[in-house]
Structure 1
Amino acid sequence: MTKQDIYNTISASIMEQFSLSADKITPSLNFLNDIDADSIDFVELVLDLEDHFDVEIPDEDAEKLVTLQSTVDYIADKKGITA
Protein backbone atom coordinates (compact mmCIF):
# COMPACT_ATOMS: atom_id res chain seq x y z
CA MET A 1 0.00 0.00 0.00
CA THR A 2 1.25 3.48 -0.88
CA LYS A 3 0.23 6.99 0.15
CA GLN A 4 -1.53 7.24 -3.22
CA ASP A 5 -3.57 4.13 -2.36
CA ILE A 6 -4.52 5.70 0.96
CA TYR A 7 -5.42 8.97 -0.77
CA ASN A 8 -7.58 7.16 -3.33
CA THR A 9 -9.39 5.17 -0.65
CA ILE A 10 -10.09 8.19 1.54
CA SER A 11 -11.16 10.23 -1.49
CA ALA A 12 -13.65 7.54 -2.47
CA SER A 13 -15.05 7.46 1.07
CA ILE A 14 -15.43 11.24 1.11
CA MET A 15 -17.10 11.28 -2.32
CA GLU A 16 -19.57 8.65 -1.21
CA GLN A 17 -20.30 9.97 2.28
CA PHE A 18 -20.66 13.60 1.24
CA SER A 19 -21.96 13.13 -2.32
CA LEU A 20 -19.07 15.06 -3.85
CA SER A 21 -17.78 14.84 -7.39
CA ALA A 22 -14.16 13.87 -8.00
CA ASP A 23 -13.23 17.39 -9.08
CA LYS A 24 -14.04 18.65 -5.56
CA ILE A 25 -11.51 16.29 -3.99
CA THR A 26 -8.04 17.80 -3.55
CA PRO A 27 -5.25 17.23 -1.01
CA SER A 28 -6.08 20.58 0.59
CA LEU A 29 -9.78 19.70 1.02
CA ASN A 30 -10.76 20.95 4.47
CA PHE A 31 -13.40 18.79 6.12
CA LEU A 32 -14.96 21.65 8.05
CA ASN A 33 -14.72 24.48 5.54
CA ASP A 34 -14.98 22.79 2.15
CA ILE A 35 -17.57 20.09 2.76
CA ASP A 36 -19.30 21.49 5.83
CA ALA A 37 -18.93 18.27 7.78
CA ASP A 38 -20.50 18.43 11.21
CA SER A 39 -19.11 16.52 14.17
CA ILE A 40 -21.27 13.45 13.50
CA ASP A 41 -20.18 13.34 9.85
CA PHE A 42 -16.56 13.59 10.91
CA VAL A 43 -16.88 10.85 13.55
CA GLU A 44 -18.46 8.58 10.93
CA LEU A 45 -15.57 9.28 8.56
CA VAL A 46 -12.99 8.55 11.27
CA LEU A 47 -14.74 5.29 12.19
CA ASP A 48 -14.80 4.30 8.52
CA LEU A 49 -11.07 5.02 8.22
CA GLU A 50 -10.31 3.04 11.38
CA ASP A 51 -12.21 0.03 10.02
CA HIS A 52 -10.80 0.24 6.52
CA PHE A 53 -7.15 0.76 7.46
CA ASP A 54 -7.24 -1.26 10.70
CA VAL A 55 -5.87 1.59 12.81
CA GLU A 56 -7.02 3.30 15.96
CA ILE A 57 -7.40 7.07 15.77
CA PRO A 58 -7.65 8.58 19.26
CA ASP A 59 -9.95 11.59 19.65
CA GLU A 60 -7.03 13.95 20.27
CA ASP A 61 -5.46 12.85 16.97
CA ALA A 62 -8.75 12.97 15.08
CA GLU A 63 -9.10 16.65 16.00
CA LYS A 64 -5.90 17.35 14.05
CA LEU A 65 -7.14 15.66 10.86
CA VAL A 66 -8.41 18.80 9.19
CA THR A 67 -7.48 18.22 5.55
CA LEU A 68 -7.44 15.25 3.25
CA GLN A 69 -3.65 15.41 3.01
CA SER A 70 -3.15 15.54 6.78
CA THR A 71 -5.39 12.49 7.06
CA VAL A 72 -3.45 10.60 4.37
CA ASP A 73 -0.17 11.46 6.10
CA TYR A 74 -1.53 10.36 9.47
CA ILE A 75 -2.76 6.99 8.19
CA ALA A 76 0.50 6.43 6.29
CA ASP A 77 2.48 7.17 9.45
CA LYS A 78 0.35 4.78 11.51
CA LYS A 79 0.88 2.06 8.90
CA GLY A 80 4.61 2.78 8.53
CA ILE A 81 4.28 3.84 4.89
CA THR A 82 6.73 6.44 3.59
CA ALA A 83 6.04 6.49 -0.14
Structure 2
Amino acid sequence: MVFERVKQMILSELKVEESKINLEARLQEDLGADSLDAVELIMNIEDEFDISISDEAAQEIKTVGHLVSYIEQAKK
Protein backbone atom coordinates (compact mmCIF):
# COMPACT_ATOMS: atom_id res chain seq x y z
CA MET A 1 0.00 0.00 0.00
CA VAL A 2 1.35 3.40 -1.01
CA PHE A 3 0.38 5.09 2.26
CA GLU A 4 2.30 2.57 4.38
CA ARG A 5 5.46 3.00 2.28
CA VAL A 6 5.16 6.79 2.41
CA LYS A 7 4.52 6.66 6.15
CA GLN A 8 7.72 4.67 6.72
CA MET A 9 9.69 7.14 4.61
CA ILE A 10 8.27 10.08 6.60
CA LEU A 11 9.12 8.33 9.87
CA SER A 12 12.67 7.81 8.68
CA GLU A 13 13.12 11.29 7.20
CA LEU A 14 11.30 13.54 9.66
CA LYS A 15 11.62 11.55 12.90
CA VAL A 16 8.03 12.27 13.99
CA GLU A 17 5.68 10.14 16.05
CA GLU A 18 3.92 7.53 13.95
CA SER A 19 0.56 8.58 15.41
CA LYS A 20 0.95 12.03 13.79
CA ILE A 21 1.14 10.59 10.26
CA ASN A 22 -2.25 10.31 8.58
CA LEU A 23 -3.69 11.34 5.23
CA GLU A 24 -4.78 14.73 6.57
CA ALA A 25 -1.40 15.57 8.17
CA ARG A 26 0.20 18.65 6.63
CA LEU A 27 3.86 18.08 5.84
CA GLN A 28 5.08 21.43 7.12
CA GLU A 29 2.61 22.49 9.78
CA ASP A 30 1.82 19.11 11.36
CA LEU A 31 4.95 17.09 10.65
CA GLY A 32 7.53 19.88 10.84
CA ALA A 33 9.08 19.44 7.41
CA ASP A 34 11.16 22.42 6.36
CA SER A 35 12.02 23.09 2.71
CA LEU A 36 15.15 20.93 2.83
CA ASP A 37 13.23 18.05 4.44
CA ALA A 38 10.57 18.35 1.75
CA VAL A 39 13.14 18.23 -1.07
CA GLU A 40 14.85 15.17 0.43
CA LEU A 41 11.51 13.43 0.97
CA ILE A 42 10.43 14.11 -2.63
CA MET A 43 13.76 12.82 -3.97
CA ASN A 44 13.49 9.66 -1.88
CA ILE A 45 9.90 9.11 -3.02
CA GLU A 46 10.94 9.54 -6.66
CA ASP A 47 13.58 6.84 -6.17
CA GLU A 48 11.33 4.52 -4.14
CA PHE A 49 8.39 4.63 -6.54
CA ASP A 50 10.36 5.21 -9.77
CA ILE A 51 8.43 8.37 -10.63
CA SER A 52 9.29 11.99 -11.35
CA ILE A 53 7.71 14.87 -9.46
CA SER A 54 8.09 18.31 -11.03
CA ASP A 55 9.04 21.27 -8.87
CA GLU A 56 5.61 22.79 -9.55
CA ALA A 57 3.82 19.62 -8.45
CA ALA A 58 6.04 19.29 -5.37
CA GLN A 59 5.08 22.81 -4.28
CA GLU A 60 1.38 21.90 -4.54
CA ILE A 61 1.73 18.84 -2.30
CA LYS A 62 0.73 19.98 1.17
CA THR A 63 -0.57 16.87 2.95
CA VAL A 64 0.33 13.20 3.18
CA GLY A 65 -2.92 12.47 1.35
CA HIS A 66 -1.94 14.74 -1.56
CA LEU A 67 1.40 12.95 -1.76
CA VAL A 68 -0.18 9.48 -1.74
CA SER A 69 -2.71 10.52 -4.42
CA TYR A 70 0.05 11.98 -6.59
CA ILE A 71 2.07 8.76 -6.36
CA GLU A 72 -0.96 6.59 -7.14
CA GLN A 73 -1.78 8.72 -10.22
CA ALA A 74 1.84 8.73 -11.40
CA LYS A 75 2.07 4.94 -11.14
CA LYS A 76 -0.91 4.37 -13.48
TM-score range, shorter chain: over 0.9
Q: Which residue of 1 aligns with 2:30?
A: 34
Residue 51 in 1 paired to residue 47 in 2?
yes
Q: Which residue of 2 aligns with 1:79?
A: 75
Q: Which residue of 2 aligns with 1:67?
A: 63
Q: Which runs of 5+ in 1 are unaligned?
A: none
User: Conserved in 1, the CA contact under 8 Å of 2:28 and 2:62?
Assistant: yes
For the aligned residue pairs, the C-alpha RMSD in angstroms reads 0.7
Give the length in aligned residue pairs: 76
Residue 22 of structure 1 deviates from its aligned partner by: 1.6
Percent identity (aligned): 32
SS in 2 for 1:45: helix
Structure 1 consecutive aligned stretches of length 4 or more whose deviation exceeds 4 Å: none
User: Conserved in 1, the CA contact under 8 Å of 2:46 and 2:53?
Assistant: yes
Residue 48 of structure 1 deviates from its aligned partner by: 0.3
Which structure: larger Rg? 1
Whole-Å separation in 1 of the counterparts to 2:34 and 2:17:
19
Residue 15 in 1 paired to residue 11 in 2?
yes
Residue 24 of structure 1 deviates from its aligned partner by: 1.1
Question: What TM-score results when the alignment is normalised by the length of structure 1?
Answer: 0.87
Whole-Å separation in 2 of the counterparts to 1:19 and 1:32:
13
